[in-house]
Amino acid sequence: MSSVLSVVETKLAALPLPVELIMPDGQKVGSADAQIRLTIKDRATLAHLATGQVGVLGEDYVEGKFDISGSMRDLMRLAVAILPGSPIEAARVGRLTELIRRLVSVWRHSIDRDARQIQFHYDLSDDFYALWLDPRRVYSCAYFKTPDMSVAQAQEAKLDHICRKLRLQQGERFLDVGAGWGGLLLWAAEHYGVDATGITLSKNQHAHVNQLIQEKGLQGRVRMELLDYRKLDEAQPYDKIASVGMFEHVGRAQLEGYFSKLRRLLRPGGLIMNHGITAGGVDNAELGAGMGEFIEKYIFPGGELTHISQVLKSMTEGGLEDLDVENLRPHYARTLWAWSDALEACLPEARKTLPGDEGERSLRAYRMYLAGCAMGFEHGWIALHQVLAQPRSNGRSDELDHPADQAYPWRRDYIYS
């Protein structure tokens, strides 16, 4: 262990900010005027520091093996500095490995298992999420049209950005796949006059949105169903479909089937907006240095990220044509830091919403998750893409003239003006 400590001391001296370690026996190592102090309770944590396994260090923190004094932003600077290399570098895998990955992905995403995995995350505590999300509880990347926007303003800008891309019109049938706490569903209904249907696998979200529908008097025009996307009725097609922060839960092996299902739910010439997190690397199945395992264990069991090139391939194989692709990666970094800062500012209140030892573990996990993801988006290890698509062309020659059965005008002015 003395050799491990020696390696750690060498690393501390090279860090971009002063750090101090307080050992189990009270010994102090590092800088006395540190910006970050780690109180070590289990010496095994030192080995993870020495090797830069930041995901494993996250697990150590959740399990109470060390405590932190200092800001999460500074802690993430420390994490980046000790990484042994890029967490998205991965060698190309052989056919057998790829087959195994595919089989595992299929196994992880049965209808029953997906419901349990979604409820594990989203049904943690509505009161907890309400502490650090905006008032609409929009739990996805915001859109900062100006640098001085608050996260609440940027979330409303994002909701409108999606509605404008979809060219929502009064009376259209609109489907929101994975509707969360209803932010987009209700915005589209109230501001664009659509007939809106949302689905979720979260019991908490289902109850919350149905209560809002009642309070706003939107019964008959807006509905929220507790339903898996695979069970959606294809008999009455929708004019427009949005899927926000949902397809990450589908699984890579299911993407072609997922997009094919959405295509079958859409009328000819209708539009789909798929908004979701994508991988920064082409070949890596998850972030390295233990970060992927941390997310799987504590935050999003069953979550799988795919590079945008593979997403577009799956969309094409599912019968869709991409029309507009926008990367919002910097917007998500800012969104996540806003969430992280908000949570850090209300830790005592957060503990009241997550009582007991298990609640403390969840709180520690979310502190790491929000700040760690903000770091990941800042460094381009993960990204966020909005892809606007339609069913593949029927071979018409007058599409640029915008015939009545085509929703897309083939010019971007309507999105950005």
Structure tokens at 8: 């750690």
Distance CA 220, CA 82 (A): 55
Structure tokens at 282: 């082409």
- The active-site residue out of 141, 163, 346, 373 is 373
3-state helix, strand, coil in the chain (%, to 5): 50, 15, 35
CB-facing half-sphere around the CA of 196: CA atoms within 13 A? 30
State the distance between the two ends of the chain, measured CA to CA, in whole angstroms: 62
Distance CA 343, CA 371 (A): 10
- The set of residues, in sequence order, having a beta carbon less than 8 Å from that of 363 and lying 6+ positions away, is 347, 350, 351, 354
Distance CA 91, CA 274 (A): 28
163 is catalytic: no
Are 234 and 182 in contact by the 8 Å Cβ rule? The answer is: no
DSSP 8-class letter at 91: P
Separation in Å, CA 400 to CA 272, 409, 410: 19, 7, 6
Distance CA 324, CA 313 (A): 15
Residues identified as active-site = 373
